A and B are shown apart, each in its own frame.
Chain A
Amino acid sequence: MKTSGRALPSILAACVAASCQGAAGGGRLPAGGGRLVDRTPPAGYPAAPLEAIAPLDSPLTEARAQLGKRLFYEPRLSATGTVACGSCHQQAHAFADPAAVSTGVADRRGTRNAPALVNLAWGATFFWDGRAPSLEDQVGLPIENPVEMDLSLPDAVARLAADAGYAQAFRDAFEGAPPSEVALRQSLASFVRTLVSGDSPYDRHLRGDDAGFSEAARRGEALFLNEKAGCFHCHPAGPLTNEGFFNNGTYESGGDGGRAALTGRPGDTGKFKVPGLRNVAASAPYMHDGSVATLDDVIDQYARGGRGDPTTDPQIAPLPLSAAESVDLVAFLNALTDASFISDPGTVP
């Protein structure tokens, strides 16, 4: 989390968050409220409102988030006018792509799986290789990527400026300023920041409500958090990601080198960002290349100790899991699904 982005003194933010969390479960809107910015932090995350953790130079407002939502679903941000962010990042799939890799303009295919957009307000870096240090940096790159939306940001801005409705929306959100690359990025980032999930059975379990947390999920959680499965080394309780980069055994020689392409460090070969796992059951397929189809297959891969490449992290080793334990782990992963998040009418057009 960017420490420079805390706009409120921490004690004030905590007081505000406490009152917000008292009104609704994590991630949900207060009763009677429909504002995107009113999402409450889930359990396991710092109890400060979203506005308090937005960057100081990209303050989060409802107007910016709503504009960002329009832009997220706007196909005119692609060269052909046919592909929007939401074309690949689909709400029902936790804003991931159900295809292994995404198809952009002119049927061009990418090389990496479009990740779920869940709780990124608390993210440290973005993309599978962490090349974007902020959401504002991240959101512009798919627009410009030739195999995704293939439209330069200046051209994107020109299209928006030519639309009277967008021109007014930008003026309303940015103190009278017209559309610009910065405002485009900040709007999209603001919307993504409001994609908060915090009402899964696991989240309710963290808040002390185990009504929907099955015994199988409980057993699976215990395995997840102890050395038998050892998932916590990368997926700690709470955020379920330590925001780090690890080679989890998916990389195979000659494949996508991951973070090494960015850093030039041989030791980073095959390292990819640890994703958060909320709504993981909805965001198949898995891994950086979408090469693992189901959660059962994920557990199988980890149980085998990865695919055997020598670059695999030493923490990835064959796991002594019984068949029943594998089932319990999957039950725990299923308990991370927040039905309200993947069907929220507030985050679709």
Chain B
Amino acid sequence: MMQWSPALIFLVLCGGCSAPPPAAAVSSDGGASDRGSGDVGDGDGDDGVGSEPSDGPDGAATGSDAAAATGPGCPESPAPRRSGGTVVEIAVQPILQGRLMTFGAAHPLDGGGTLTLLNLRFYVSGVSLLATTGQQVDVDLVTAAGQPEPYGVHLVNAEDAASTTMRVLAPPGDYTALTFNFGLGDTCNLFDASQQHAPLSAASQMTWPHTGYLFLRYEGRFGGSASADGGTSELPPSIHMGGFPGLVMAPVMHVNTQLAVPAQGLLSRHLRLVMDEIFRGAQAAADLSRYIGPPGPEAIAGEHLRQTAPTLPIFVVAP
């Protein structure tokens, strides 16, 4: 199968029309580029999620915020978007049928059988919080040391316990929702992985030869009698959700929650990744009439998920 370059993809979709359309016009539903300024040339931390950089509830934005938000590309060492804030730790926990899943362990299924997580990893980027004032507050993903994450991106990898906790630096205040790209924003998704470092190198296991990156990679193994597992062995054993730069965007997830970020100290929350909804999305009805991606079943499942993810309660914040 030929490799699809963005230029070729454009020609296929537009029949060779003379001017490239704005990215938002050809993006699929709910894609990251539909949000915010709509300028997919922005730095990854801002493209598609939230409005232009805004002050937090206490006006903590720095003078450099505007420059960071509109800077080109996806710098490996992004400038912080605000001068300080409180660390909010978010520990990701995969759950299935209401029970926590442990990577590499056989998870018993209702009705019999088991499911073992063999690979589960996904990118998070472009995080923002919705203040009770209605203001969208862009926040930085930061390392345990408090520095902006490389490329403004966090890779959650269920195999690496340390990576399952991500951190954002938030202005103190009250918030009602967490919003993020379930994947990479468009600027980072353009990269040639060969020249990138973690978490955008080939060792992320998130590269594929179809331009850009995978947003989510899942592989699992069902065990036990198919007839006894309540039909779950019919679920896809692998889901590779990816996108095409400029055309097929990462889904943007809105997670309602109540967050009271203190002025000092630390706030910790769990973010449950509801695998039931991942599977539901991977099998939900989706419009593939304009699907231009690879034909493998895992990629098809991924495209179903990508289109339906924003409508599904895939993520739930818990204390």
Choose from B1, B2, B237 the contact partner of A228 (Cβ within 8 Å): B1
| Chain A contact surface mostly | loop
Contact in complex: B197, A46 (CB < 8 Å): yes
The answer to whether A265 touches B195, judged by C-beta atoms less than 8 angstroms apart, is no
A287 to B299, CA, bound (A): 27
Contact A124 B116 (CB under 8 A): no
A81 close to B (CB within 8 Å): no
Question: In the bound complex, do residue A314 and residue B220 qualify as a contact, i.e. CB atoms below 8 Å apart?
Answer: yes
How many Å from the CB of A236 to the closest CB on chain B?
Answer: 5
B13 CB within 8 Å of chain A: no
> CB-nearest residue of chain A relative to B221?
A314
A244 within 8 A of B: yes
A283-314 interface bits toward B, Cβ cutoff 8 Å, 1 = contact, 0 = none: 00000000000000000000000000011011
B103 touches A267 (CB 8 A): yes
* Known contacts A46-B194, A315-B298: A222-B1 contact under CB 8 Å: yes
Whether B207 contacts A1 by the Cβ 8 Å rule is no
**Which segment of B27-35, B41-49, B163-171, B198-206 sits at the interface?**
B198-206
Tell whether B223 is near chain A: CB-to-CB under 8 Å: yes
- From A3, A265, A268, A310, give the contact of B197 (CB < 8 A): A3
A226 within 8 A of B: yes
Question: Do A227 and B116 touch (CB < 8 A)?
Answer: no
Q: Is the CB of B118 within 8 A of A237?
A: no
- B207 in contact with A236 (CB, 8 Å): yes
Compute how far the CA of A3 lies from the CA of B202 in the bound complex, rounded to whole angstroms: 14
Which residues in chain B, 169-218, are within 8 Å of chain A measured between CB atoms? 193-198, 201-205, 207-209
Taking a contact as CB atoms under 8 Å apart, the answer to whether B209 and A242 are in contact is: no
Residue pair B103, A265 in contact (C-beta under 8 Å): yes
Of residues 219 through 249 on chain B, the ones whose CB sits less than 8 Å from some CB of chain A are 219-221, 223, 237-238
A347 to B22, CA, bound (A): 54
| A226 and B209 contacting across the interface, CB-CB below 8 Å | yes
A232 lies within 8 A of B118 (CB): no
Known: A226-B1, A236-B209. A265 touches B105 (CB 8 A): yes
Interface string of A214-252 (1 = CB under 8 A from B): 000000001001111010100011110111100100000
Q: Report how far A247 CA is from B196 CA in the complex, Å.
A: 27
A268 touching B104 in the complex, CB below 8 Å, given contacts A10-B76, A315-B298: yes
Q: Are A227 and B203 in contact (CB under 8 A)?
A: no
Q: A228-B1, A232-B208, A313-B118 are in contact. Are A46 and B196 (CB under 8 A)?
A: yes
Cα separation A3 to B207 with both chains bound (whole Å): 19
Q: Which of B76, B103, B105, B197 contacts A1 (CB 8 A)?
A: B197
The answer to whether the Cβ of A47 comes within 8 Å of any Cβ in the partner chain is yes
**Complex Cα gap A171–B298 (Å):** 56
Are A46's CB and B195's CB within 8 A? Answer: yes
Q: How far is B76's CA from A63's CA once the two chains are assembled, in angstroms?
A: 33
In the complex, A236 Cα to B105 Cα: how many Å?
27
Closest 6 pairs (CB-CB, A-B): A265-B104, A267-B104, A314-B237, A227-B296, A226-B1, A243-B203
What would 17 more interface pairs be, CB under 8 Å, given A45-B194, A241-B202, A267-B117? A1-B203, A3-B198, A46-B197, A222-B1, A227-B296, A239-B194, A239-B202, A242-B203, A242-B204, A243-B205, A266-B104, A267-B104, A267-B116, A311-B221, A313-B118, A314-B221, A315-B298
- List 22 A-B residue pairs with CB atoms under 8 Å apart, sorted by A's residue number: A1-B197, A1-B198, A1-B203, A46-B194, A222-B1, A225-B3, A226-B294, A236-B202, A236-B209, A238-B194, A238-B202, A239-B202, A244-B119, A244-B203, A265-B103, A265-B105, A266-B106, A311-B221, A314-B118, A314-B219, A314-B237, A314-B238
